Amino acid sequence: MTPEDRRPTRVHAVAPLAECPLDPLPLYRERASTRGPITHSARIETYSPSIEGWSPRRPSPVLTYPLAFEERESVRADGEVRFEWDHSTLRIQVHWPAGTHAYGLGASPGPLLRNGRSLLCWNTDAWCYGEHTPALYQSHPWLLAQLPGGGSLGLLVDTPRRLLASVARDGVEFAVDGEPCVLHRVEAESPGEVLAALAAMIGPIERPPHWALGYHQCRWSYASADEVRAVATRMRAERIPCDAIWLDIDHMDRFRVFTWEPERFPDPPGLIDALAEQGFHTVAIVDPGIAVDEESDTYRAGREGRHFVEDSQGNAIHGRVWPGVCAFPDFTRASTRAWWASLVRRWIEESGLAGVWNDMNEPSVMRTPTGTLPESAQHRGMGGGEHARFHNLYGHLMCAATVAGIRAARPSARPFVLTRSAHLATSHLAATWTGDNMSRWEDLAWAVPMVLSLGLSGQPFSGPDLGGFFGEVDEELFVRWFELGAYLPFCRGHGEKHSPRKEPWSLGRTALGHVRAALERRMRLLPMLVTAFDQAHHRGLPPCRPLWFDDPDLWEVDDAFLLGDDLLVAPILAPGVSERSVPLPKNGAGWFRHGGEGEVWTGGQAHLEAPLGRTPVLARAGSIIVEAKARLHTGEADTLRTWHVYLDPRGRAEGELFEEPGEGLEEIYLRRRIQARLHGGRLAFHLEDRGEFPQPERERRLRLYGLEGGPREAVLPLGDSFELDLESSGGSWKSVFREIP
């Protein structure tokens, strides 16, 4: 190689991928619905380095849909996008104006804002992580930036390779190991449109089954069927809302996947049926490591089918995980994914499990310097290559195979998978959580920006282990965990076996009362959560959004968030705090305390009391929030709807409600726009419906805010257009903002 050959290649060029075959994995691309990609108004351009012998026109491991990218004969101003290639690392430099605020790149402990930070995309088993942990369990090579002059920018690096993103004041550099790749640049007027474009590229999340939005109870581990039954019985005796109980690794025979410990779990179908009769769904864990044991049918089938990751000599790579020495499925191979799917299918059909938890799937390998498979290990699918190329996709491909198995076992039901390891496009396959956190106030505070960042990175279905996975928790911290978790997309309590117990009753009766109340609030908010997930499905919007979605001046706030379009949640995240100030987005007519006595704030900040057991939650003036009855689980009859109508200064309000059966794949739904207007002492409602979903018999109640004298309550009649005569009950009808004409 000559000195000239060693010089970095500095180019910036546009390479449209409209002709690129973007469907290399039919198994994992298979979708529950046939709806096409999300529509959006963003402009997408694709840049690629001009490197001899390399072409971007090949299957993408990240993108789900083939897109018609804008073809451009000329490129942007010199220096805005630059590539450097030294035959081992590709550096992509994107410049932006000073004052740009950058977000995304998946979950990382610390602030939501990424400016001044370097984050590594390399899926890592990060036990008890901290603010300086270089990488966590997932890789999201995507950055979302707010530009100082208005508008939003998205940058997607189309690679599964190890990537280091270094965010500076005037731009970002992505350093990609091993091979060239392309950069997709997305521009739009708003962050919502940029996220819609991302969802169009990687595939939108599917609507989850409704039970997956309830509370889930887990522990490492419930050691026997009797213990599981005892937990379920007490849940119902204490009247704690709960939809699922989870089984960690101790349900297995010697920690071997797809098995049951015969003495402690002698009748899995009987246990799962008994839990179902009480309204619980059962989710069980599965790891990728398969014990090396010639007496195991699973291992022998894997060896005979050459389904395991190999070394350069064609021998299966071995590593230590919970069962001991294990081999690891090569999920890049279509035949291996099909084999794994068959194992999942049989496991579910024989046991009756409702969901699957994919864990340790970075993959995590114990007692090794890197904690994972050797980067030189060989994969034989997707064009083949070293593990360094496929490492970040390993958990993603395992999810694809797992979902295929669930669908085969339950073809008419929506699959539910939780995964620890993921890549950018995994969100339409599985939910996720923030990993093995600790029972500390720091971890509680990190949970908010971590969930927000995952949502900004195309993964809207996430949450932390409530109570903290590792360590001891006191009553105050325990309650605050659940008060936050009640408003997050995924809500699961979890703890490890060497830490004190963390079931809702474990910290005493006072804490139990507060936890029960928090989970009851979640159950009442289920109609709003279902609606928010429909927005994620159709528009790419995460249920939890940063405040700067509404007001760019709040670019640094990451201790409060928007839930859906119209709720602002401001949890307590520090010890000994019983009140807090809440920054209010200026883009709104005002804010009411949700469910309060009619107090309203019209700008700046709201100062709110927040004793233990009370979370500050505000509702936007001009919104309608529809709540349900606080049931013990989603399978119980939903016989009540309460419409919280928050009038704006004009005496108007509107809201969106999405309803569906919530279990099967059929497209039966009702998408409803509710409009309310006060005029002449009469409150008129008009409902605009799309779709068809037979409405069960429900009582509808009104709670009206925005008038002097506090909230007014009434029973709402049935129908899609009706009026209430408010003057007949007397009192003052002046607006709390001003007199309504």
Interatomic CA distance for residues 334 and 28, integer angstroms: 10
Q: Please name which of 175, 179, 159 lies closest in space to residue 120, comparing C-alpha atoms.
A: 175
Please confirm, yes or no, whether 436 is among the known catalytic residues: yes
| Dist. CA 678–CA 626, nearest whole Å | 18
Nearby residues of 450 by Cβ (< 8 Å), 6 or more positions away: 107, 108, 109, 434, 462, 464
Residue 78: CB atoms within 10 Å = 8
* 375 classed as catalytic: no
Nearest-angstrom CA–CA distance, 76 and 616: 46
Interhelix angle 475-485/441-456, nearest 10 degrees? 10
| Catalytic residue check, 349 | no
Separation in Å, CA 141 to CA 1, 204, 618, 635, 673: 32, 17, 34, 39, 36
Q: Evaluate whether 454 touches 464 at the Cβ level (below 8 Å).
A: no
3-state secondary structure labels for all residues of 341-409 = HHHHHHHHHHHCCCEEEECCCCCCCECCCCCCCCCCCEECCCCCEEHHHHHHHHHHHHHHHHHHHHHHH
Q: Calculate the alpha carbon distances from 15 to 21, 70, 593, 725 in Å.
A: 14, 9, 51, 63
Return phi, psi of residue 712, to 5°. -115, 145
Q: How many CA within 13 A on the CB side of residue 561?
A: 29
Contacting residues for 270 by C-beta, under 8 A, at least 6 apart: none
CB 461, CB 427: distance < 8 Å: yes
Nearest by Cα to 307 from 329, 287, 325: 329
3-state secondary structure 676-691: EEEECCEEEEEEEEEC
C-beta atoms surrounding 81 within 10 Å: 22
Cβ atoms of residues 592 and 710 within 8 Å: no
Q: Are 331 and 338 in contact (CB under 8 A)?
A: no
Contacts of 579 (CB under 8 A, 6+ apart): 607, 608, 609, 610
Single out the residue of 498, 515, 512, 393 nearest to residue 436, CA to CA. Answer: 498
User: If you ran DSSP here, which 8-state letter would residue 664 be given?
Assistant: B
Structure tokens given for 591: 């804010």
Tokens of 102: 């950058």
At 725, which amino acid appears? D
Catalytic choice (436, 503, 558, 565): 436
The catalytically annotated residue of 45, 243, 261, 359 is 359
Catalytic residue of the set 125, 243, 261, 362: 362
Helix (H) or strand (E) run with residue 268 in it: helix 268-277
Are 448 and 440 contacting, i.e. CB atoms less than 8 angstroms apart?
no
For residue 121, give every residue at least 6 positions away whose Cβ sits within 8 Å of its Cβ, in sequence order, or none: 105, 106, 135, 139, 140, 141, 162, 163, 164, 165, 392
Q: Annotated catalytic sites, by residue?
A: 359, 362, 436
